[in-house]
Amino acid sequence: MMLYKITEIADLFVDACLRNDSGELMFLSVYGRDTALQQFIAAMQLRSNDGGIISFSLKPTEANNEPARIFVNVGNPDRFEKYSGRLPKDNLFGNLSHIWIYDPVLIRPDKGTKTGWVILNQSSESAESKNLLTEGIWLLYKKLSPVPLLDDWKEEVTRLHNAICVTWMTDSNYPPVGKISAARLMIDDQFASLISSMIKSGQIGINGELIDVRTDARCKGAEKFVSNAKSVLKPFLSTSQYQSMLELCKGEEGDFFESKFEEMADRISAMPKTYDTQNIADPIVSLHYFMGGSDWYIIEKDVEDGVSQAFGYAILNCDLMCAELGYISIAELVEFNIGFQRVELDLHFVPIPLSEVKNLVERRYGQVAA
């Protein structure tokens, strides 16, 4: 087993280290006496002018093909978790402790950023390691994907998306140190749309069969996956509007309403989240809700679930003088009704800047918007 000395702190030895593609520490397996380990951990928490370390270097204890020094940036130390143990007392080196320092995203994929890691305690040189990494990446795809994925799609999805979504750390500028291997998956915002396009084009199908959704738009199997759009859009619609659209999908205008589901779902997926537009003078309004003389123009969706606390411009009872920007609960909005009137999402609204919305309502109501 190759060991590496931490040059900044005496008597600390590392047998494995993983960095991300920015060179920041993700995982460190380090051995040493308790005092040296505690000194190292404390130094990572301090600023450099207070005697702390923002980076450290590893020096191989034996000659090999690696650089004479391997540099590691600490990054934000607050993200680290630790797992410690103690070597048996009768070992050759005396009373030593062993600590893993790691970013928890390595074991708990981040569904918010759709990022996850696979890490193995063996080098990537063997065929077995490569297969295990590949299998682990596919499991992450299934866990983090915003749309359901079938195992039959594995080969085609990974072939087309690995180059975009996967970083094989052995091939990066900061390869793993020691006998470990790792890969990172980061699914981008366009992934769901690309999967939908693959189904439509017949690249992937249901139950192992390729299908062309264009010629069978309401195929039950295809609908389950292509119309993930329906599940995306559902929280943004009142129950009655959602049910009406589902029924209309079965009629003569089915193609129109199917396309509306997908169009609106894509728009919602790409919308800014809470605080994303706070420094934009004239933000884009993405959604419009209406009921009678009241309008709600949505600029940001809620950062958590999209609907709990959105942000937008509200006009109640045609009163532009009291119209205002503020937080809007879409979840409450779509449940609101007065008699037979319900708040509905405007399926024909086209995203425009807030200034144009104000011009539009001023012309409609003959008042100056606040």
Average pLDDT, the chain: 85
Residue ending a domain, among 41, 69, 103, is 103
Q: What is the mean pLDDT of residues 32-58?
A: 89
Q: What is the mean pLDDT of residues 122-145?
A: 87
The span from the CA of 37 to the CA of 171, in Å, is: 31
pTM above 0.75, yes or no: no
What is the residue range of 24's domain?
A: 4-103
Chain position carrying tokens 């520490």? 25
Q: Give tens-digit pLDDT for 90-103.
A: 656 667 889 999 99
Q: Are residues 309 and 242 in the same domain?
A: no
Q: So what's the pLDDT on residue 149?
A: 85
Q: Are residues 90 and 77 in the same domain?
A: yes
- Compute CA distances 239 → 63, 269, 335, 344, whole Å: 69, 20, 8, 10
Residue ending a domain, among 204, 234, 269, is 269
Q: So what's the pLDDT on residue 92?
A: 61
Q: Are residues 244 and 200 in the same domain?
A: yes
Q: What is the mean pLDDT of residues 341-352?
A: 91
Is 108 part of any domain? no
Q: Are residues 329 and 258 in the same domain?
A: no
Domain count within the chain: 4
**Where is pLDDT greater, at 366 or 183?**
183
Is 110 part of any domain? no
Angle (nearest 5°) at CA 37 between 36 and 39: 65
- Compute CA distances 249 → 148, 201, 223, 238, 244, whole Å: 22, 21, 11, 17, 9
**Where is pLDDT greater, at 354 or 306?**
354
Is 109 part of any domain? no
Q: Are residues 95 and 52 in the same domain?
A: yes
Q: Give tens-digit pLDDT for 138-168.
A: 999 998 988 888 888 999 999 989 988 999 9
Is 230 part of any domain? yes
Q: Are residues 23 and 78 in the same domain?
A: yes
For residues 146 and 89, is the Cβ–Cβ distance under 8 A? Answer: no
Q: Are residues 195 and 256 in the same domain?
A: yes
For residues 49 and 43, is the Cβ–Cβ distance under 8 A? Answer: no
Tell me, what DSSP letter sits at residue 273?
A: B
Q: What is the mean pLDDT of residues 72-78?
A: 93
Q: Give tens-digit pLDDT for 201-221.
A: 788 875 444 434 333 443 344
Q: Give tens-digit pLDDT for 222-235.
A: 444 445 788 889 99
Residue 87 scores a pLDDT above 80: no
Residue ending a domain, among 74, 103, 132, is 103
**E-only strand ranges, the chain:** 4-6, 12-19, 25-32, 55-60, 70-73, 81-86, 97-102, 115-120, 166-168, 177-178, 181-186, 284-285, 287-291, 294-302, 306-315, 324-328, 337-338, 341-342, 344-345, 352-353
Q: Are residues 230 and 180 in the same domain?
A: no
Q: Are residues 142 and 209 in the same domain?
A: no
Residue 88: band (very low, low, confident or very high) from pLDDT cuts 50, 70, 90: low
Q: What is the mean pLDDT of residues 333-347?
A: 84
Q: Phi, psi at residue 314, to the nearest 5°? A: -115, 135
Q: Are residues 205 and 294 in the same domain?
A: no
Q: Give tens-digit pLDDT for 263-283.
A: 899 899 889 999 999 999 999
